[in-house]
Amino acid sequence: MYDDDVKLLDGVKALRASEIHIVDVYSPYPVHGLDTAMGLPRTRLAICAFIYAMTGLAAAATMMWYMMIVDWPMNIGGKPSFSFIQNLPSFVPILFEASVFCAAHGIVITFLLRSWVLPGVSNKNPDPRTTDDLHLLELNLNDKEASEALKILENSGAKEINEK
């Protein structure tokens, strides 16, 4: 348990330097530089977003091509109704909206699934005070590491150390 994010960062860095695996860190707000200090890989959510957007684009294009050109050509304001490419400008807003829709919903759902925050799932937070003003550093130690880790935690200014 830490009450200061600078101390938390110091603790994380010291633990990583002595090669002790950190299970997770819980904090009430985003701590700047924590992800790099913990050595977390960069998120791949952006790549997902791109793939979802392209899916949305393709789906919308297929839908409009089938509805407006193939199945029942629509004459709206005398616009060329038998050609997808010549009628493209009027489809662009929908292509854009569908891409944004799919990307936005896709990444939210992916995020929820990946971090397993769903309705009815009980929370994994070991201490409710991390949602208020304290940071929590969770370690899973064997006996060999325990004494060293304890020393590091004390040195870095941990406010409270609990064992489970």
Partner 1 sequence: MNYDFTNRAKMITYVLMGIGLIAVIMGFVSGSHASWANLLASNFFFLGIGLFGIIFISKQYLAQGGYGVIYKRVPEAMSQYVLVGGPIMLFILIAGNHHIYHWMADGIMDDQSEYYDKIIAAKEAFLNKPFFYARSFIYVGGWMWAAYALRKLSLQQDLNGGIIFHNKSITAAALFVVFFAVTVCTSSWDWIMSIDAHWFSTLFGWYILAGLWASGAAALILFIVYLKNKGYLQAVNDNHLGDIGKWMFAVSLIWAYLWFSQFMLIWYANIPEEVTYFQMRIENYRYIYFGMMLVNFCFPFFVLASRDAKRNPGFIVTVAIFILLGHFADTFIMVMGGTVGAHWSIGFVEIGTFLGFLGLFLFVVQRSLAKASINIESHPFLEESVHLHH
Q: Residues interacting with partner 1, by CB under 8 A?
A: 32-33, 42, 46, 50, 77-79, 89-90, 92-93
Query: Which residue number, 44 or 159, has a Cβ lying nearer to partner 1?
Result: 44
Q: Shortest gap between Cβ of 32 and partner 1 (angstroms)?
A: 7
Q: Shortest gap between Cβ of 98 and partner 1 (angstroms)?
A: 16
Give the E-state strand segments of the chain in sequence order: 22-26, 136-139
Q: Shortest gap between Cβ of 68 and partner 1 (angstroms)?
A: 14
* Tokens read off for 41: 């890989």
Query: Which residue number, 92 or 121, has a Cβ lying nearer to partner 1?
Result: 92
> Could you tell me what percentage of the chain is helix, strand and coil, using 3-state DSSP and rounding each to the nearest 5?
55, 5, 40
Query: Which residue number, 80 or 126, has a Cβ lying nearer to partner 1?
Result: 80
Query: Which residue number, 89 or 120, has a Cβ lying nearer to partner 1?
Result: 89
Q: How far apart are CA 78 and CA 110, in angstroms?
A: 43
Q: How far is CA 94 from CA 49, 79, 90, 98, 126, in A?
A: 18, 17, 8, 6, 46
For 112-155, the DSSP string reads: HHHTT--TTPPP--S-GGGGTT-BEEEE---HHHHHHHHHHHHH
Q: Shortest gap between Cβ of 101 and partner 1 (angstroms)?
A: 17
Q: Shortest gap between Cβ of 89 and partner 1 (angstroms)?
A: 5
Query: Which residue number, 46 or 161, has a Cβ lying nearer to partner 1?
Result: 46
Widest distance between CA atoms in the chain:
80
